[in-house]
Amino acid sequence: MKALKELLSELTFTCERGNLEKEITAVVYDSRKIVEGCLFVCIKGANFDGHQAAAEAAEKKAAAIIVSQEVELPKQSETTLIRVEDTRYALAFVSAAWFDHPAKKLTTIGITGTKGKTTTTYLVKSILENAGRKVGLVGTIEIIIGDTHIHAVNTTPESYLLQEYFAKMVESGCDTVVMEVSSQAYKLSRVYGMDFDIGMFLNIGEDHIGPLEHTDFEDYFSCKLQLMEHCRTAIVNREMDHAQRVLEHARAHAQRVLTFGKLETADLDDDDCWILQDIQKEEQGFTFTTSHGLAQDSWRIRMAGRFNVENALAAILAAKALGVDDQSIREGLLQNEVQGRMNLFEKDGVTVLVDYAHNFLSFQKLYESLKADYPGQRIVVVVGCPGGKAQLRRRDIGTLSGQNADYLYLTAEDPQFEDVRSICEEIASFVKPYGTPYEIIEDRAQAVEKAITTAQKGDVIVLAAKGEEVYQKVRGEYVYYESDLA
């Protein structure tokens, strides 16, 4: 139990009814979990507005309710009514207080970008654990707390869940957490109330724009930029589009800004500038060098995908900012592989790559890497687009695939409430101008099976968009594959 006053201590609010001298038994934002004595925070979601359950919460003897709009409570109710401007913002601060501010007991590393967040979180985790730290992870694939792996629903969980995960990490002996920070994390106030020791901005491209996500690119970009306002050390990729804006924002807020990129974009007068040079493809992965002042170092990763060199360098800088020695960094880089991110399989002269590429920037980088690393080889891609969000992806992926692929299998990718064939035909409309042959196979497992069983020696087959996922999201349900091929 905690005092209501303590939970509200960092918020600006108005007490519209009742008093603040109460003990709280639970913090709840899901109306189905309301219990006597709880603090119920009314959150407006995509399908339900918690304000509609305010009267129910009072009837169930909630100790207090936090709202951002007018609600009617039973006259005889003794429930305290708290009014704030934004209940999601309030939930973030209340949750941190409820769990005794666990993030303050951890070294916190937040990573944002349109692509590469997942890979970079695992790279950082691998390096730091090799250096002796105990590291928790929050990301698109899973939440890792010690030996416990929890399937992730959102890239960045709701603020209450996030603080609960942090608390469990502290309890399990973790000293560090590395996490993906999505644009929705700031749009929906999931990470408010905490500052990151390190904030990393990998890249930016147009994505997540739609009715249920961001209104436009500026909304998307400005949400991601907020990480630069809430970190002590910022790490910025100078190679990305809009790098100057990100750097200006970081320098206005962070105590220290580390940058990396190729010589052409380097600021040679900046002592915190790392120059990326001499990327060489190896039989497995890549080698590359970095220059920083007069020092030059060589590094190696075992991961496929030329773009992963940039992710690796971002992870290297995070480790250096935390004082990790170079040998631990090198060993950590070599021990890392991320499920569903550029996983490479080779048999009988056929190369198969499984990757999560699902938007313009990730496909652009993917094709650039394939053209550089597999020159002259036939590129066969299995891909789809999700239903209900970011419809511009259909144009972008169709156009890029028409320009770069040699054969396409268009198939399902989390169609939700849309028709799979209609989505595929929309993608195909952007492929057709380039004359690239394609085939629509609505069942993804069948599409993967055909791509592999009909492959020719020398083919590079890319299973894109779904990564490690073995299910489709259909009409709000998870539908798992019967075939192991997908």
Q: How far apart are CA 248 and CA 328, in angstroms?
A: 32
Tokens of 67: 């709202």
Which DSSP string corresponds to 8-43?
Answer: TTTS--EEEES-S--EES-EE-SGGG--TT-EEE--
Three-state DSSP state, 463: strand
Q: How far apart are CA 402 and CA 410, in angstroms?
A: 12
Residue 235 near residue 110, CB atoms below 8 Å: no
Q: Which of 404, 450, 454 is nearest to 430 (CA)?
A: 404
pLDDT at 275: 92
Q: How far apart are CA 208 and CA 231, in angstroms?
A: 24
pLDDT at 485: 44
pLDDT at 207: 67
Residue 72 neighbours by CB under 8 Å, 6+ apart:
54, 55
pLDDT at 478: 85
Three-state DSSP state, 197: strand
b/e per residue 168-204 (b: at least 16 CB within 10 A) = bbbeeebebbbbbbbbbbbbbbbbbbbebbbbbbbbb
pLDDT at 178: 98
State which H helix or E strand residue 453 sits in: helix 444-453
pLDDT at 473: 87
pLDDT at 126: 95
Residues of the chain with pLDDT below 70 are: 207-212, 214, 336, 482-486
Residue 211 near residue 417, CB atoms below 8 Å: no
Q: How far apart are CA 138 and CA 469, in angstroms?
A: 17
pTM for this structure? 0.85
pLDDT at 447: 93
pLDDT tens-place string over residues 433-485: 999 999 999 999 999 999 999 999 999 999 998 877 888 888 888 888 765 44
pLDDT tens-place string over residues 105-160: 999 999 999 888 999 999 999 999 999 999 999 998 899 999 999 988 777 889 99
